[in-house]
Chains A and B, each alone.
Chain A
Amino acid sequence: MSARLEAENLYKVFGRKQDQAVERLRQGTDRKELHAGGTTAAVIDASFTVEPGEIFVVMGLSGSGKSTLLRMLNGLLEPTAGHVRFGGEDLTEISGRRLREVRSRKISMVFQHFALFPHRSVRDNAAYGLEVQGVPRAERERRADEALALCGLAGWEKSWPDELSGGMQQRVGLARALATDADLLLMDESFSALDPLIRRDMQDQLIELQKTLKKTIVFITHDLNEAMRLGDRIAVMRDGRIVQIGTAQDILIRPANEYVASFTQDVDRSRVLTAGAVMETELRGDEADCACETATPATPFTELCAISTRVPHPVAVLDGDGDLVGVVPSRRLIGFLGDERGEAGTCDSPRDKGGEKVMSRA
């Protein structure tokens, strides 16, 4: 039931002579050059598609234009050039009134600093979107309470925002976004302002909810770990441009450039990688012909390590039909952890001769 979101060649320029600036950007003028002229290009030529039910994460450092990009998706900012299409409508073409209608019914948003209305109770905050839609009081309170319950806030309906902890406040923000039953959920660094532990909780809860709700979600973050945990696909932004779009493993294993690669250095690879990503596919064919433990391509990296220690030879990876698709030698596991793909060197010390033998087999 969710609809596909498409962004096509989006540009957002702040300052004077915006159309001219877009033209120059298209011709390859540098962003810094424009900036010297008093024009700031926040988003440059962003195109992507988000499939229904997908969590699409936009990742980038502050100032990379990710928040601007997000605000163009629901029309809070009008793109200088390009199109946003959602549910069969081009949001850049429709009237302001229609746009508000779309926002109130089809797109909702969760904010970094929660943006709860301090003069409304928790229930009234959650019901806000429905109130804007004009839903009668009894019904909107019922639906708001449901949304709150879904976010684990049953019993807090009559409290006030300032009585809640940060995590609970963001749950209210999430409940407010979910209460309208919008197809598209825009989340702007929604968990960044929370403590690390609470952030993990919220991430888990979002994943949990998504399993049943199947919303289309665009999630903004500057935290690659969070991006990789949540994102079905990730877009990495730098200086207003999208430099790479791909799955977490794509970005980790095949970074598009130095910048992305430097980004991925700090990532806890063991949480992201699976057997499918690390296995060698050059096969002899007999690697699985023993009774030893095997893995599947979806086996997480940490589990793969465990198997590898129990098995005396490289772990065989079998697909769903039991066919051999790859093998994972333990040296390769260590190499991925250290982000090192090179071959082992040699050592003069006789102490290490035995080891050389094992390695040569790999």
Chain B
Amino acid sequence: MAAPKRGRSASAQSKPGRSLALILIAIAALTGGMFASGNTTPRLGIDLAGGTSITLQAHNEPGQPNAINKTNMNTAVEIMNRRVNGLGVSEAEVQTQGTSNIIVNIPKGTNSAEARQQVGTTAKLYFRPVLAQQASAGATPSASPSASAGGSSSASPSASPSTSASASAKATGSSSASPSSSATSQGRAVTDALKAGSTPSSSASASSSASPSATSSADAGASAAASKLEAEYTALDCSKATQRATAGKTAKPSDTTVACGQVGSVWYKYVLGPARVDGTDVKKAQAVFDTQGAAGWQVQMTFTGGGAKKFADVTAELAKNTSPPTNEFGIVLDGEVVSSPTVSQSITGGQAEISGSFTQEEAQSLANVLSYGALPLSFKTQSVTTVTAALGGEQLHAGLLAGAIGLALVIIYLVAFYRGLSLVAIPSLLVSAILTYAIMSLLGPTIHFALNLPAVCGAIVAIGITADSFIVFFERIRDEIREGRTLRPAVERAWPRARRTILVSDFVSFLAAAVLFVVTVGKVQGFAFTLGLTTVLDVVVVFFFTKPLMTVLARRKFFANGHKWSGLDPKGLGAKAPLRRTRRPAGPAAGPVDPKEA
């Protein structure tokens, strides 16, 4: 942050007019943007403005009767919190109520329907092998995503413990179709194949083995379920929203099921095997732009220890199948396939990338879903109601009034102490305030930034930090004048030293903001954002406004000649004044120096 600013400051020094014009343009653009977009006030947090309160009731998952317990509820709260509060700046609150309810409070101005969807409906994430896939609208599959081993997982599959169990493992080639690549996966392949109703040997030839038509040759026990599934699959038309809404939504993780998924604008229907890896196995996921290759936006996943092993197993198995769709796995979110990458080799090492024709938003939303994991429970919205501000209106007004009085005192103090220099100090504070206000207003709709009481107080402390920057600068100038310099050289000499102090100290604040923003969640993250913003603005204001304005004013007679009211009167400051040595005794002698010294 500091480095580029330092570079630009050179021009700020020589052409103060340009910097001033620049910052005025920035102010005009920001306030203009603020009025043009109609966001003339910052979004306020629930403590200041109230909002919407959503009560969600937990329900047991099919097949898991005792899922509603304290641990699961707390996990659900954590996940929801991260979902509604991804960047930590939206000031939403999530807490449990009673034994089976969760309350989500969302500040006024948030799209509550969207938020409800975020906290409530996004629920279960599974990785399931794809057994069959077909475009519903009759279009041919175009760009199906592919999965490949991530950077650190370049170890060959034969190095993994599971494959070493089998002597016949030759899985070095990316698409080797060896049926016995690992003891464990072979065993699993057999059971899978049995479940899907195909013979074990067919998995080696892998071309059409797992297609639903193969289910007709299944043994009697599984045939009923299989034919039901086949019928379901044939009847399913994923281009219809009504069918999508129900397809595969009630499936248990251990079921083979049908599901819908969208690739580009085309809906596909799938038959999916039992879940092999679930959402809790993903440790972290992030959207990245592939700068080396041409893959565009992709999602990088890091698995947990157990997840890495499971993922290696399932990919090893899938890689044996050479043709789509049976070498794909489906990433299934709430019964809907969000992505079905093909697998060309076993992915070990716990890292993987999902690439495809993602847009940035798609990649980010997939990464969001993957990293925030699966809710251990499903939730139904029980009630939605508005709530008023947690901080009563009268209290808020009292607070604002008190803050205004405090600010007035600051201005009085600055005028009393710095006199003419307050012409620099007060506009600097003003510019800083306008920029902060405009940026906070604009961030409301873009990243859901909401201003709560702690943030307001943080902004008040920021007054001190902003003021400090020009106080350091002013005191440096005064020191230079005391050394006997005239104003203009004093300003130019004082600036580099003041600049260093400002940058070093602001860097510490910025470091705090950056670390806390990256590491923490929730309100702490929101605080870190405010701190970082005000710190950056402090540097911007002092470089592009305070210093240039000071340079310009130093040319005015009022300041340059050290008028009594300019705050830079050499006599008042007790300068050495080498050129006016004869007059000097009048200065200090008049003051109460001698008695104190003696």
Q: Report whether chain A binds chain B.
A: no
Chain B residues within CB distance 8 Å of chain A:
none
Chain A residues within CB distance 8 Å of chain B:
none
